[in-house]
Copies of this chain bind each other. A is one copy, B any other.
Amino acid sequence: MKIGIVGATGAVGRQMIKSLEERKIDVSELRLFASPRSLGTKINCFGEDVGVQVVEDGCFKGLDYVLGAVEADLSEKYAADIVKSGAVFVDNSKAFRMDPNVPLVVPEINGEDAKHNNGIISNPNCSTIITCMAVYPIAKLSPIKKMIASTYQAVSGAGMHGITELEEEIAALAEGRDFTPKTFTKQIAYNCIPLISSLTENGYSGEEMKMQNEGRKIMHLPDLNVTCTCVRVPVFRSHAISVSLQCEDPLTLDEVFNAYKDFPGVKLTEDGFPTPLETSDQDTVFVGRIRKDLVFDGGVALWCCGDQIRKGAASNAVQIIEYLTK
């Protein structure tokens, strides 16, 4: 299989390479694309050093899949060329997620949707993937009607720059040096920032609305209402989400615990609780603190964690290719 990655030098792009290797995807050719300032960079892929190239006319020719790990504006710019060249574009940006002609896919949940693509498949928002993985086993018991979610999002959500900004702020504070936040709007070290992306008309951030809008599309729950609060916390890689939900039917805790038994990609932490740190650098989403919700009759409260760069982005995209080619 011939695969391209646009944005190959970023946090998500580099993880895509690792995830292709780990999942033993049968790659006969890998083309890595990045911006001109990365020209000369070589990245080890499947034991070989592969040089980075820039996107130019005809560069996607012959590829079967192109993984997108760039911002929405670039995805929009490249999409037509990728599709025209005959490759399927599995795009991690928000560009096409809500397009009715583009499937939005978490393979464990709605892998079948990926088959009905017109050349583009969208990879969902990171917190949304992790939350959907955590609550979908419950949604299979009875459709979720209401969900209230508060996130604890890692700095990796802002890419390499987010990770280095937290590291540099911690170092600067330790050494008594001044610093100016660049990637985040305020200091993230020893702080929580309750606004990710910008506000929309209804007072919710774009990031917060994704939980409802992408959640509806992924889980095939058009009537799902979600109140979400997205908060950046000084954690490196894993997002965590505190969730309260109510389904159409009241559920017992036994039913809920059983729902996770055969669901792939999600593990219950039955002894203790999962934390972002412990769940980092793996593709599994962890769920814990399951208990009866005290506000939603017959509803459930839970806590979940998953690696933002992996299941929240790169690994999910690679799994989409895996699903389509298995």
**A229 lies within 8 A of B303 (CB):** yes
Using an 8 Å CB-CB cutoff, how does the interface string of A134-173 with B read, 1 for contact, 0 for none? 0000000000001110101000000000000010001100
B-binding segment of A7-15, A60-68, A123-131, A288-296: A288-296
Residue among B171, B194, B278, B288 making CB contact with A242, cutoff 8 Å: B194
Nearest CB of chain B from residue A111's CB, rounded to whole Å: 28
Please tell me the size bucket of the interface on A.
35 or more
Using an 8 Å CB-CB cutoff, how does the interface string of A167-204 with B read, 1 for contact, 0 for none? 00011001000000000001100111111000000111
Residue of B nearest to A194 (CB): B303
**B234 lies within 8 A of A273 (CB):** no
Question: Which residues 257-303 in A have Cβ within 8 Å of B in the complex?
Answer: 272-273, 275-278, 288-296, 301, 303
Determine the chain B residues whose CB is within 8 A of the CB of A289 once the complex forms: 194-195, 203, 229
A87, CB-defined interface residue at 8 Å: no
**B194 lies within 8 A of A291 (CB):** no
Using an 8 Å CB-CB cutoff, how does the interface string of A211-231 with B read, 1 for contact, 0 for none? 010000000000001110101
Known A-B contacts A225-B294, A295-B226; the reply to A276 vs B191 at CB < 8 A is yes
Q: List 25 A-B contacts (CB under 8 A).
A: A147-B295, A148-B295, A166-B190, A174-B174, A186-B275, A187-B277, A190-B276, A191-B275, A191-B276, A192-B276, A194-B288, A194-B289, A195-B272, A202-B292, A204-B291, A204-B294, A225-B295, A227-B295, A227-B296, A231-B242, A231-B303, A233-B233, A233-B234, A234-B234, A234-B235
With A202-B292, A225-B295 given, can you name 17 additional A-B contacts, CB distance below 8 Å?
A146-B295, A148-B148, A174-B174, A186-B275, A190-B277, A194-B273, A195-B272, A195-B273, A195-B289, A203-B289, A203-B291, A204-B291, A226-B295, A229-B303, A231-B242, A233-B234, A242-B242
